[in-house]
């Protein structure tokens, strides 16, 4: 059965657990960038895929699905936001800690043949777009990113990103332009044929979807869902799509922007 998990590109899903040492941990307010030594995950991964991370300690049952923030050589990185008990515990991981990680899992952002890319992120949904920007830039694509955040605290995540052409908006006007990511999009001069990649909260996805159709563009979206297994078994993470209910962990998390119904 080896290799039959290919959906996009040459990445492959992998359910087995890797015991990964934290090689770097950077804290940005309620966020942490965790670099993990995970050669076997890094080797298979592609932008858009995620990993299931076991929360260390007693009292946590389900693993947390976290998208790949980067992957190169022997390391992967995760951008984690302290949102609930489990993710808060993950942001407190320190260099030398060992954490159990399964992955890479799920579908990847298609990138083949893309020359102009617009990356639209909202909140912690920006996380998978760094890895995507790295891969697109390495392939010679022209990459522009527009990120929106709720407020100053949420915008602390910006400090984790190294995307050359990145504009930021906050709803409270504390960082970047005052407004939503849609205000940023309206101000952009987007080349025809640009591929849109989006990840963020549901209202943002809906707005980006409308904007993309209006501009006559096509694109992809990475969705988030509460998950139990992360490996296609439990059907807990389904979303409604034009193709019916699909699993975010299995058919997703990356879907065509025109097939989701946010």
Partner 1 sequence: MSDRRPPAPETDLSVRLGPVELAHPLVDASGTLDVLEYARRYDGDYLADFPYAAYVPKTVTADPRTGNPPPRVTETPSGVINAIGLENPGVHAWIAQLGEWAALRAPVLVSVGGNSPEQYAAVISALEAHLAAAPPGTVPDVRGYELNVSCPNVVGGLQIGADPTATAEVVGACRAATARFLLTKLTPNVRDVTEAGAAALGAGADGLSLVNTFKAMVLDRDTLRPFLGNRTGGLCGPAIKPIALRMVAEVAHAFPDTPLVGMGGVMTGLDALEFIACGATAVAVGAANFTSFEAPQRILAELRDEVAARGFGTVGEARGIALRA
What are the residues binding partner 1 (CB under 8 A)? 1-2, 4-5, 13-17, 54, 59-63, 86, 100, 102, 105, 225-240, 244-245, 250
17 or 162, CB closer to partner 1?
17
Bridge partners, residue 247, by sequence? 238
Token reading at 202: 């549901």
Which CB, 75 or 225, lies closer to partner 1?
Answer: 225
Minimum Å gap between C-beta 78 and partner 1 is: 18
Nearer to partner 1, 102 or 166 (CB): 102
Nearest-approach distance from CB 54 to partner 1, in angstroms: 7
- Non-local (6+) Cβ contacts of 121 within 8 A are 127, 129, 145, 146, 147, 148, 181, 198, 199, 200
Q: How far is the CB of 63 from partner 1 (least distance, A)?
A: 7
* Between 35 and 224, CB nearer to partner 1: 224
CB distance 45 to 68 below 8 Å: yes
Q: Which of 206, 192, 46 is nearest to 120 (CA)?
A: 206
Q: CB 62 → partner 1: shortest distance, Å?
A: 5
Closer CB to partner 1, 1 or 73, in the complex = 1
**DSSP assigned state of 234:** S
Residue entry with tokens 């929106």: 148
DSSP-derived letter for residue 209 is: H
For the bound state, the minimum distance from the C-beta of residue 18 to partner 1, rounded and expressed in Å, comes to: 10
- In angstroms, the CA 85 to CA 163 distance is 30
């Amino acid at each position: 059965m080896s290799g039959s998990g290919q959906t996009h590109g040459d990445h492959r899903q992998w359910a087995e657990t890797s015991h990964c040492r934290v090689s770097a941990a950077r804290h940005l307010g309620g966020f942490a960038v965790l670099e993990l030594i995970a050669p076997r995950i890094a080797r298979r991964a592609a932008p858009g895929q995620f990993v299931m991370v076991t929360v260390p300690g007693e009292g946590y049952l389900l693993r947390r699905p976290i998208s790949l923030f980067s992957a190169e050589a022997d390391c992967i990185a995760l951008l984690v936001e302290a949102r609930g008990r489990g993710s808060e515990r993950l942001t407190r991981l320190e260099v030398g800690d060992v954490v159990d990680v399964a992955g890479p899992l799920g579908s990847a952002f298609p990138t083949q043949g893309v020359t102009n890319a617009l990356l639209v992120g909202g909140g912690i949904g920006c996380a998978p777009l760094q890895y995507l920007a790295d891969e697109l830039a390495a392939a010679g694509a022209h990459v522009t990113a527009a990120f929106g955040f709720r407020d100053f605290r949420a915008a602390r995540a910006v400090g984790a990103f190294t995307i050359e052409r990145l504009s930021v908006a906050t709803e409270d006007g504390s960082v970047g332009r005052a407004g939503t990511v849609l205000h940023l999009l309206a101000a952009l001069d987007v080349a025809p044929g640009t591929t849109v990649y989006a990840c963020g909260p549901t209202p943002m996805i809906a707005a980006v979807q409308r904007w993309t159709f209006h501009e006559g563009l096509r694109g992809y979206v990475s969705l988030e869902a509460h998950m139990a297994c992360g490996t296609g078994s439990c059907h807990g993470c389904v979303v409604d799509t034009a193709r019916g209910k699909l699993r975010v962990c299995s058919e997703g998390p990356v879907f065509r922007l025109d097939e989701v119904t946010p």
